[in-house]
Structure 1
Amino acid sequence: MKLKSFWVWSLALFLLAGKAWANSSISEDTQTCLECHEALTPGIVADWRESLHAQITPEEALKKAPLARRISTSQVPEDKKGVVVGCAECHTLNPDSHQDTFEHNGFRIHVVVTPKDCETCHPKEVKEYEHNLMSKAYRNLKNNPVYHGLVETSLGPQKLEKGRLVYLPSHPLTQADACFSCHGTKVEVKGLTSRDTPMGEMEFPVLSGWPNQGTGRINPDGSEGACTSCHPRHSFSIEIARKPYTCAQCHKGPDVPAYKVYVVSKHGNIFQSQGKQWNFKAVPWKVGEDFKAPTCATCHVSLLVDKDGAVIVERTHQMNDRNAWRLFGLIYAHPHPKESDTTIIKNKAGLSLPTELTGEPVTEFLIDKKEMKRRQTRMKRVCSACHATTWVEGFFTRLHKTIEITNQQTLAATQIVLMAWKEGLAQGLPSSIFDEAIEKMWVEQWLFYANSVRFASAMSGADYGVFANGRWFLNKNLQAMKDWVEFKRRTKKKD
């Protein structure tokens, strides 16, 4: 009884505080949500109150000049035009398509807000994101037999059995806590459960694969992706999305050392020294006025204008829209895939890889030279906002040479592995190609060392191209792989 009295008085106080703050543009449904959640989840409510969603209605957003808009629809549903985007506006959208919809205090709400919900106001961004490799990150990892094998030999626990190390299947919770933390999980409804709450006993859906904000998350309404990967709830801040710390959640290395390279680059040096003085909220984003050096978003996502307001590049949520080359994650650097679903790709050996094991690209699934040139031209426009043409051209000439040489170094490692398979020194295909010592060294060659070199070249982070998992390790690893083969040959002869 004392506990219930406490909550009654707490709610009364929060209601009074809420009325003092009262925004006439808040819908009645959202106001009802706030009356409880001010007390129950004050952090969430405080985050939302400071967001742009809580301060401007879609109708007001549409009145802004086209370049200043953060909303891309031309027509908002009538019942949502004049109210701010609050709890009810997101969590009660499309209830029939959400498997996680449940009855809650007289409302039909769902837990997981998805791109299909955000599409109400941001259709252009959602459509672009669908063409983004990130949107299929779960599918592309889980449904690719080659990379599923890499997941299992990375996460699966091992035990010693009759003198041999044996891999056990990785647990789904381990997957969700590791690879699928960034790639996304499959969120499924497993039923309902009753819980005692300060408001009495209530029923809630039981969700597997939750919590998760991975970029390719499979949502209970069938959509793929999570806007909250970059725009965290409940502020959904463009400022947070524009800062490199957000990308660092997943792009830290050693397989994707983008943030580490950025921090030691001249761009990162300037950001760390002066970034607190920059305007990360402005739309459009003015080069030289709002900021003085690029972050990840500057190069890959943001709408940029010059001091006169002329557009340098349009905003895009297709993260490879300015990238000709796919530098990381795969055995060789190669032109970007045409489709975001890379599970459709098959090379001559029947493997779900965009190149042959010997490096030749599977061209039918990859963008052509014209599209590569278009994408690189967009990126060069970003660079040219701060750098002279000779600097920009020299930069890309070096990057292309780095791609060529790291692919050569990867080919040399692959040839050693193929030699080991052919001579029976390692099993290789059709069994796992990631579970023996020589194969693990091969993976490190392209997944860690070649990636570090390419990122160092692409982002001007010099030492990562040499000693910090760079060229030194490419050569050292090749020697170790060759020595392993020689050792195995001698051992085989003695047998």
Structure 2
Amino acid sequence: MQTTFRFLVVLLVFFMCVPGVPAEQAPVSVSTQECIECHAVTHPGIVADWARSRHAATTPGKAMTVTGTALKVSSRQVPEPLRDTSVGCAECHMLRGDAHADTFEHNGYDIHVVVSPDDCATCHAQERAEYADNIMARAHTNLADNAVYNDLERTILGRSHHKAGKHMVFDAPDARTRAEGCYYCHGTKLAVSGTQWRDTDYGEMEFPVIEGWPNQGVGRINLDGSHGSCTSCHTRHQFSIAMARKPYTCMECHAGPDVPAYKIYAASKHGNIFSAKSDQWRFDPVPWTVGKDFTAPTCAACHISLLVDDEGMVINRRTHKMSDRLGWRLFGLIYAHPKPRSPDTTIIRNAAGLPLPTDLDGTPAKDYLIDAETIAQRRQTMQSTCLACHGTGWVDAHFERLDNTIAETNHQVRTATRLMETAWAQGHARGLDRGGSLFDEHIERRWMNTWLFYANATRFASAMAGGGDYGVFEIGRYQLTSTLLDMQDWLETRQMIGTPPAP
């Protein structure tokens, strides 16, 4: 009785004092009650966030009764014990305990620290399935299991060593550097390495030690073996749709210069409208009505969200497979190319046997990439959103420019690659054929800049109607052509003085 009274007092204080908490609250399970009783004191921010969430305001059973496009729970078989209470601490952190390597006994309950997409699938099965077929879900593996990318990662994150007259050497990066470097966004691989005792406000308690934690990367490999992290976009513990729809969420990993999507969006006409008018928009409604809830696209409007017109007719269905509306992969590796067929890009091999989607001359590894018909279908899907605000002539001309930009930047990268291939062939740099790296010499870094930064930025500026400085002087065509001249001068200088082969 005393425990229940303390819980009700704590919960009442939160619901009365925390701004933004919904007026109605769903019933709370007994196990979640016990969680809140302690954690409202030790982790008030977590409890306050949860109290503001849809999870706290409704039950899965009630959510499943919604019909039409407003439906948010895609699973039709939510387990009976979970249907009639809010989705609280216990409903997520005690779910599928046997599947999680980090499950441990905590105050009489078996809980796990890391909630995975397979846990979220209990209520959101369709979203989970779509995300699993998404290249983001494989982001850790696609980086960690690709020898070429490993080499690039090593020369960026690894500790460097220089000896007079010798080639610069880079060690493999340590785990902590990798976790806050490339794998901050790509996701770490989690593993339980043991347990430790901690002195808490409630006495000494034993907790699992999790390697690779904390991390919210999109391709994190979780302790139940699943790939991905829903909290990359729907941040804990409010899991807000509104937050996921705002461009700041995508900015966390797409700020450039390799993928400068947010910066280009912010400088674009769409971004200008967002900056000036988004305080008048509504980011919570499902579905999201074009012209009523918002008047210019965000990242989510173009790539993810369920969009309808003012009569409720569907413009684009919701998807958590980001490539559903994308035919081309603008991020050049080293050239822009059609999207991969499979989210697992480690299976790709070009004609030279390298795990790259194109050859060094730009020829695509067609067996692993989508065909022209699929590209056209995906473009039509994307254009449905564009046509909600723009005329056909405007939209067609925009995509014609994008196609031209892809072709032109690929041509420029091919010029840079020819210069690089000459340097390798003449022994002025050590390429793969001499047991070297593609990325650890000055001329190779200049070559990298042409496709990793400048060609990419130019393509993104074109695709996102950002134009202007990002596609020209900020980090675009000017830097790309300047680097071509630098590479040519570097190569001609070494040819003239007869530089001996690189050691």
Which residue of 239, 247, 252 corresponds with 1:249? 252
Aligned mates of 2:118, 2:250 — CA distance in 1: 23
Aligned mates of 1:46, 1:325 — CA distance in 2: 42
Aligned residue in 1 for 2:18: none
1:206 aligns with 2:209: yes
Aligned residue in 1 for 2:347: 344
Aligned mates of 1:350, 1:51 — CA distance in 2: 49
Aligned residue in 1 for 2:160: 158
Equivalence map 1:3-402=2 (5 Å) = 16-18=9-11, 21=15, 23=25, 25-164=27-166, 165-402=168-405
Aligned residue in 1 for 2:19: none
The runs of 5 or more residues in structure 1 that have no matched partner are 1-8
Q: Report deviation, 1:25.
A: 1.0
Q: Report deviation, 1:494.
A: 8.2
Q: Report deviation, 1:131.
A: 1.1
SS at match of 1:360: coil
Q: Report deviation, 1:383.
A: 0.3
CA gap of 1:329–1:136, structure 2 versus 1, over 3 A, is farther
SS at match of 1:189: strand
Aligned mates of 2:332, 2:455 — CA distance in 1: 10
One-letter amino acid of the structure 2 residue matched with residue 473 of structure 1: Q
The runs of 5 or more residues in structure 2 that have no matched partner are 16-23
1:464 aligns with 2:475: no
Q: Report deviation, 1:15.
A: 5.4
Q: Report deviation, 1:128.
A: 0.4
Q: Is the 8 A contact 1:10 1:39 kept in 2?
A: no
* 1:220-272 CA-partner distances (Å, limit 9, x unpaired): 10000000000000000000000000000000000000000000000000000
SS at match of 2:193: strand
Q: Report deviation, 1:24.
A: 6.0
Which residue of 420, 423, 445 corresponds with 1:420? 423
Aligned mates of 1:109, 1:369 — CA distance in 2: 48
Q: Is the 8 A contact 1:11 1:36 kept in 2?
A: no
Aligned mates of 1:48, 1:77 — CA distance in 2: 22
SS at match of 1:321: helix
* 1:265-316 CA-partner distances (Å, limit 9, x unpaired): 0000000000011000000000000000000000000000000000001000
One-letter amino acid of the structure 2 residue matched with residue 288 of structure 1: G
Aligned mates of 2:448, 2:305 — CA distance in 1: 34
Which residue of 436, 447, 460 corresponds with 2:441? 436
Q: Is the 8 A contact 2:217 2:229 kept in 1?
A: yes
Q: Is the 8 A contact 1:138 1:184 kept in 2?
A: yes
Q: Report deviation, 1:170.
A: 1.0
Aligned mates of 1:362, 1:268 — CA distance in 2: 35
Aligned mates of 1:132, 1:24 — CA distance in 2: 33
SS at match of 2:194: strand
1:482 aligns with 2:488: yes
Q: Is the 8 A contact 2:339 2:370 kept in 1?
A: yes
Aligned mates of 1:457, 1:177 — CA distance in 2: 30
SS at match of 1:330: coil
Aligned mates of 1:266, 1:200 — CA distance in 2: 56
Q: Report deviation, 1:182.
A: 0.3
Counting aligned pairs with the same residue, the percent is 54
One-letter amino acid of the structure 1 residue matched with residue 195 of structure 2: L
Aligned residue in 2 for 1:4: none
CA gap of 1:10–1:94, structure 2 versus 1, over 3 A, is closer
One-letter amino acid of the structure 1 residue matched with residue 157 of structure 2: L
Q: Report deviation, 1:101.
A: 0.4
Q: Report deviation, 1:75.
A: 1.8
Aligned mates of 2:439, 2:490 — CA distance in 1: 16
Aligned mates of 1:310, 1:23 — CA distance in 2: 32
SS at match of 2:490: helix
- 323-332 vs 185-194, greater mean Cα deviation: 323-332
TM-score when scaled to structure 2? 0.94
SS at match of 1:190: strand
Aligned mates of 1:280, 1:199 — CA distance in 2: 40
Aligned residues: 487
One-letter amino acid of the structure 2 residue matched with residue 55 of structure 1: A
Aligned residue in 2 for 1:5: none
- 70-79 vs 157-166, greater mean Cα deviation: 157-166
SS at match of 1:207: strand
- 31-40 vs 430-439, greater mean Cα deviation: 430-439
One-letter amino acid of the structure 2 residue matched with residue 455 of structure 1: F
Aligned mates of 2:497, 2:191 — CA distance in 1: 51
CA gap of 1:329–1:409, structure 2 versus 1, over 3 A, is closer
TM-score when scaled to structure 1? 0.96
Aligned mates of 2:454, 2:190 — CA distance in 1: 34
Aligned mates of 2:26, 2:234 — CA distance in 1: 26
Q: What is the root-mean-square deviation in Å for CA atoms of aligned residues?
A: 1.7
**Where in structure 1 do 4 or more consecutive aligned residues deviate above 4 Å?**
9-15, 19-24
SS at match of 2:162: strand
Q: Is the 8 A contact 1:57 1:85 kept in 2?
A: yes
Q: Report deviation, 1:12.
A: 8.6
